């Protein structure tokens, strides 16, 4: 379960799964509910990092980039990608439903693999159930449903001397499949503040890969 941070780069790293990890994780039974380490090279993180670099005047050989205030897209050494803050990234598949009553925090995609983080208004139980129902009504089958909670300690040995606090992360994971797409859904709420969520919101992160590239379900 990924936790979101307040900055653009931190949010990108915190909410994105990464293309390689997405292919490995989607389509199998998920493990226990627990926070993942941020993936520095996730599609969203790379896209937003490139946007910052280009806006600062960096020219990267072998890249074709299109940059606007909150969007970046193009070709990065032969890999097509897009990333966005506050909206779905360009090219996100229209056949994948998004949660109702939600706003996009950040999203990114590379080579038709996608990862998007949403802030959803309402309770995590009813909101997650509603999104599951929306996927079912759109023709997706739902498997590998799991729910739980875990205590998470903020702070580490690398921050010696800094205070540590323990927060509780509650959430669920499930996989949605149709003939075209495999979607892993992670929803989470936390007792901590400063994670990019407003009062009364919880987080949903979706990782989307083509069904043909997802490993067999176990």
Note the pLDDT tens digit of each residue in 16-35. 334 333 343 444 444 444 43
Q: Which two tokens stand for residue 177?
A: 């499949």
What is the spatial distance between Cα 88 and Cα 15, in angstroms, rounded to a whole number? 13
- State whether residue 41 is helix, strand or coil: coil
Q: Which two tokens stand for residue 162?
A: 């800094």
Lowest mean pLDDT among 41-50, 67-76, 144-153: 41-50
- DSSP β-ladder status, 165-177 and 181-190: antiparallel
Give the residue, 201 or 63, on which the prediction is more confident: 201
For residue 147, give the nearest of 117, 169, 115 by alpha carbon: 169
Burial bucket for residue 162 (CB in 10 Å: 0-12, 13-18, 19+): exposed
DSSP for 62-76 reads: TEEEEE-SSEEEEEE
Mean local confidence (pLDDT), 85-99? 93
Q: With cut-offs at 50, 70 and 90, classify the pLDDT of residue 45.
A: low
Residues 158 and 72: their CA atoms lie apart, in Å, by 33
- What pLDDT digit, counting tens, does each position of 116-140 carry? 999 999 999 999 999 999 999 999 9
* Bridge partner residues of 185 (DSSP): 174, 206
- Give the C-alpha separation, 208 to 36, whole Å: 18
pLDDT at 148: 86
At residue 163, the 3 state secondary structure works out as coil
Take residue 118 and report the two structure tokens written for it.
């949403």
**What is the C-alpha to C-alpha distance for residues 156 and 168, in angstroms, rounded to an integer?**
17
Highest mean pLDDT among 25-34, 197-206, 208-217: 197-206
């Amino acid at each position: 379960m990924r936790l979101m941070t307040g900055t653009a780069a931190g949010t990108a790293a915190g909410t994105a799964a990464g293309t390689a990890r997405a292919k490995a994780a989607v389509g199998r039974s998920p493990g226990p509910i627990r926070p993942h380490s941020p993936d520095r090279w996730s599609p969203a993180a790379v896209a937003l990092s490139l946007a910052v670099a280009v806006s600062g005047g960096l020219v990267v050989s072998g890249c074709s980039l299109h940059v606007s205030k909150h969007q970046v897209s193009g070709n990065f050494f032969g890999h097509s990608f897009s990333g966005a803050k506050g909206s779905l990234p360009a090219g996100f598949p229209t056949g994948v439903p998004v949660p109702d009553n939600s706003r996009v925090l950040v999203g990114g995609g590379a080579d038709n693999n996608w990862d998007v983080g949403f802030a959803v208004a309402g309770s995590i139980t009813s909101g997650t159930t509603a999104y599951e129902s929306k996927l079912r009504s759109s023709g997706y089958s739902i498997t590998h449903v799991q729910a739980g909670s875990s205590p998470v300690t903020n702070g580490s040995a690398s921050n010696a001397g800094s205070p540590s606090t323990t927060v509780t992360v509650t959430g669920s994971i499930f996989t949605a499949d149709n003939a075209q797409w495999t979607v892993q859904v992670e929803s989470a709420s936390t007792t901590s503040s400063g994670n990019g969520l407003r009062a009364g919101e919880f987080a949903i992160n979706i990782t989307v890969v083509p069904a043909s590239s997802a490993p067999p379900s176990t």
